[in-house]
Each structure stands twice: as structure tokens, then as C-alpha cells.
Amino acid sequence: MNILHSARIMLTPIHKEGYPFIALFFIIAVVLGFLWLPLFWAGLGLTLWCAYFFRDPQRVVPLAANLVLSPADGKVSFAGVVMPPEKLGLPQRQMFRISIFMDIFSCHVNRAPVSGIIKVIDYHEGHFFNAMLDKAGESNEANGLLLQTAYGEVGVVQIAGLVARRIVCWVKKGEELAAGRRFGLIRFGSRLDVYLPLQTEICISVGQKMVAGETVLARFAAVDNGKENIADKAEPDGAGDSAGRRGNSDSMSTAVHPPAVPDEEEGDKPDFLHFRLD
């Protein structure tokens, strides 16, 4: 194994969406360098930041079917019960919403939180308010996906922010997504919302740091309808990146008390120990 190959393994890949921006920053740095050398180094620093922003690292994706994974890197800015956006096609009844804020240093490649078939893709233009504000979800440019899963419908909404001016989505209606698969990107700071059924067991807390495709946001409860669920129904307690279930008390209007997930039977192998690299 030569040094070049070792360096490739160590370096995080850069998504192709970032190539034009990296090239532009570098050209500007060179031009400014001819005018005054310190400007070149400043421009080079911005070029390196741009490359870092568009990084696209591999993730270790848990394979248990009943897990809801974080679709974005960043921090949980809201967790509470709300009415879902009408345009997404979700039933107009209360759902649990988890919002993840991505700052300019977060990896902005978005990943599917669950496995399912895309029923709706809804893009609409809008304003560019700070993505941390609650009104950003209704007023800002956004792109929403409605996923049909074995546990019901799940909504995922990409929201542009104060700096972000471009939402990219690579998937199409009718396409089947696997949990943890890349489906889009938002440039330069933004937010991502996930809408889940109220019966879902929430495994995160406001302020917690998220890793897209790895951190467990929630677990679907077993369907109690006398039929065997499509996905595995048993998992040991404590799976995922659980840090409590407290939400934002200022914004949560309804408390959620999801049913407990049954304990793993003796001799069974827990599926959450199975992963794939993506």
C-alpha cells in the first residue's frame, strides 16, 4: 500500500456538488494573491472551508427496520407535537416533529431517516429566514418528501435558511429509499424536519448532536393489530443514541407516551448490531 493510497483512505470524500464552489473560491484566491499576498492565504482558507463544507463521509448505518435515523448532521432544535404541513399530503392530525439545525460547519448531505417508497415530493419557493425560527418551516424555501413505510407515513422536509439558498434533491416520486441513503443536500446552513406518528418512541433530546445515517432519532412501536409486523418487533432497551425523551417545553403542546418496545427474547440476535457502510 503506497502513501497516496493511504492518504485517499484518510481523506474524507468531497461531494461533486461542491466542485464548482471550491474551484471558484480557489480562482478568487489566486486573483487576489496577485494584488496582495495575504489575500491569497485568506482566500485559500475559504477554499479549504468550502471543501470541508461539501465533505461526504461514509457512515455506519444500523439495519434494524424499526429504527428512525437522523437525516442530517447538526443539533436538535425542536422536538414536539405539531400539525404537519398540508402540502406534504400527510393526514391533518398531530404528529411528532423533530427539527435538526445544520450550521455552516455541518456536513450538509441529507440521508433518508427510514426505508420506504416516496409517495410525494413537494418543492416550493419561499423566504430565507433564519432556519432556527419556527416560522421558517412555513415561510422558507422547502422541499418535502412523503415516505410510505411498513410503520405508516413519515415526512421529511428540507428547509433553506438565512445563508442557504439552494436545496438539492436527487430522488424521484415512486423511488424506493433505504434508511441512511443519500437523497439530497442543502447549501450553506439550513434545517431538516422529520414528521413521525405519535406512537413512535423518541430517543433524542433538544440540543443533542446528530450524525446523519447513524444517530437513532426514534424507534417505531410494534403494530398491535393481531398481525405480525413486517419489521422486527424486539430490541433491547438502550439501543441507539438515546439521551432521554424531553422535548422543547416552550413549543410542545402535547406529551407523548409511546408504548414500550418488547424485550428481546433469549437467544435472539439484536438487529441493531447489524450495520452497513454507506
Contact in structure between 104 and 163 (CB atoms under 8 Å): yes
Amino acid present at 174: G
The count of other CB atoms within 10 Å of the CB of residue 273 is 11
d(CA 44, CA 49) in angstroms, rounded, equals 9
d(CA 211, CA 217) in angstroms, rounded, equals 10
Q: Per the structure block, which three cell numbers stand in for 269?
A: 440476535
Residues with active-site annotation? 190
